[in-house]
Amino acid sequence: MLENLKDFQAAMTAVQPPAVIEEVEALPITEPLELLFYSGAGGWMTSLVLNPDGSFVGEYSDANYDTVYVCQFHGQFGNVGKLTDASWLLTMEELVLDTGHELGEQWDVTEEGYTIHYIASEPYGFDGMNWTALESGAQFILYSPKAAGHEPGTELYGAVKFQTCLHKRREFLSEDDVLGCWGLQNMETGHGFFESTDT
């Protein structure tokens, strides 16, 4: 059944003509955009600030009692291409981990008699299928709040994994059903970051 569904989605998407990418000079935002990728029930979250010039800074943390997995990072998007009026293809040109510790390194911090055990981790959300940090050339799609997904050829059609990362569930049944906030999709994993004011 699952294989039949995947075949159906692939066939429906395949009938659309290839996307025409229009190169643009800058991102379609005029001020820093705060985006979040997080668990609805657990203690992990990756926060991201995306700037109009394509630069970004982020931080991942996952707390489990007194142990915290952490990663701080920054980077740059470039080669911006407009896919539709509500979506843009971004190519990651650089990703730098700023945690200050080697991956897997562990250290303790004690404050007011309470000790927290930290472990340097990968940047969840900016990693690939192998759970390691993405390399230069990785692609993302930035969606505006007007992105739709009700039929083949619309921005979010078939982007099921991305939609499941959205905590305010939306059904895309007609052209009036739109994302309602900015979103950023990691094209390798399908994971999504969403505007922190409307997640």
8 A C-beta contact, residue 89 and residue 24: no
Q: What is the pTM of this model?
A: 0.86
Answer yes or no: is pLDDT of 12 > 50: no
**59: helix, strand or coil:** strand
pLDDT at site 28: 95
pLDDT at site 14: 44
Render pLDDT for 94-152 as a digit per residue (tens, 0 to 9). Answer: 999 999 999 999 999 998 889 999 999 999 999 999 999 999 999 999 999 999 999 99
d(CA 73, CA 85): 30
Better-scored residue on pLDDT, 71 or 170: 71
Answer yes or no: is pLDDT of 32 > 70: yes
What is the 3 state secondary structure string of 4-35?
HHHHHHHHHHHCCCCCCCEECCCCCCCCCEEE
pLDDT at site 42: 65
Answer yes or no: is pLDDT of 83 > 50: yes
Residue 102: how many other CB atoms lie within 10 Å: 8
d(CA 125, CA 16): 29
**What are the φ/ψ torsions at residue 9 (nearest 5 degrees)?**
-60, -40
Contacts of 167 (CB under 8 A, 6+ apart): 40, 194, 199
Mean pLDDT of 60-69: 93
